Structure 1
Amino acid sequence: MLIFLKLGGSLITDKDRPKTARVDIINRLCGEIAAAKKEKPHLNIILGHGSGSFGHASARKYGTHGGVRSREEWLGFAEVWRDARELNQIVMSSLDEANLPAISFPPSAMVTTDHRKIITWDTQNIQSALQAGLLPVIMGDVIFDHGQGGTILSTEELFHYLALVIHPDRILYTGKDEGVWEDFPQSQKLISKITPQTFPQIQAAIQASASVDVTGGMLLKVQSMLHLVQQIPNLKVQIFSGLEAGNVHKALTGEELGTIISSGF
């Protein structure tokens, strides 16, 4: 069983306070990952995490997502990289404390894009880490881009590409929300299942409630996931809250939480 797990930036950082990690939550989540691995020794996980109040603030300041060309923008590119790395180090330290054999694979050192489309990424080392029983970790990061100098790729975008190469059984996205809401910000009507067949009826509701960051809103993420499950028919994607203790452990060990995205009913 191979699972991709993303810890959302809004979950592991305080997005209203620059460069503020929620260390207590990160430690709890890492403990839940360790407990799931202990319960299911043959469970393989690729872990990803967002940048939250670390990378997004500097990325917005310099417009890194839209391209990097001037001297100031390249200095900003380096600043966004430092911010993303700082949070990654906090997560890696927590994984180490949980006795998880984690190893980080920074996309900025491995991935090249052309107008934000990935054109090179040698994933063999990530696959070798999985085969060796290690826990590979990636994160949203700055990327060198042939067409626009530099850009940023989110963990979702990286997972999308990686899934087409490695074919996980499930992708888990955990953040602050319980799933995809039909009525954000009231957040009273949770969409339990989304398929290519049901999406046209709920698209307007998701678009109206989309929360936007520098790498796109919920609507774009749902559309990307729908495209992915159509290419990998047995894949299931879950979007759920990591604020409730135990949810990550439950999801990793097979419980369906939040919103499920799949290719059919």
Structure 2
Amino acid sequence: MFTLLAVHYDDCIPGWNTVREAIPYHVIVLMVEGTATYTINGVTHRVEAGDLLVIPKGTVRAGSNTEAPHRKYTVLFNLIDDANADAQLLLPSHFMRMKISNYEYVLKRFSRLFQERWEGKPYHESICLGILIELLGVAKREPISPAVEPIKFYLARKIHLELQTHYRESIQISELAKLIGRSPNYTIAMFKKALGMTPIEYVHQLRVQEASSLLLESTMSVTEISDYLGFYDTSHFYRVFKKMMKESPSAYITNRKGC
């Protein structure tokens, strides 16, 4: 199957560049923020946030920052057994670049892969391999799935940034629609197609992510966390948290603190 060589998260590295060479491994990249320039077999590509790249072994590749540093995940891997037909099916024969339709989900999988590799807990090798295979499957399937038009991805990204900044506030779909000059129904459908969830579901995801940290690392009560994160009331917070985490806030604390 595959052997994982490295997983990197480039976080705004000044002067980032890679030398021009025929790479001795396969690479899969997710651009998270900003832009970068890749030269692939002599052709220059401007890679933007939301782009997924798969670069096969032997490709002549070079890369550098554009206007400013960027953020991206990079995974290096190789094929152990060239005769493995299943593994060969997952590997493209040529360079692939695509906009990912379910970007938030794919971003979470890259993040989990990086975390598992970095922490090195028991069985992390199997978990990392499973995530890598999933990401390669997503990359092979994406070109035959309905594409997200560039304008829709741009508008979804605009809302995405707005929600990241104001997720603790009351979210009105009508205001998000005004932000991009579209109708509320269009706004919901477009965002879901681009990111795989509605704006409200994304806000809940952000709130629950922060709640998970606050429950374990702060002295705030469940009611205080609920109010702080902008939920209607504590019971609403409980319902949303349990739906996403598959356990209640109190069970979440008990299972992780062992108390």
Q: TM-score, normalised by structure 1?
A: 0.28
Q: Which has the higher contact order (CA 8 A, sep 6+)?
A: 1
Structure holding more helix per residue: 2
Q: TM-score, normalised by structure 2?
A: 0.29
Larger-gyration structure (1/2): 2
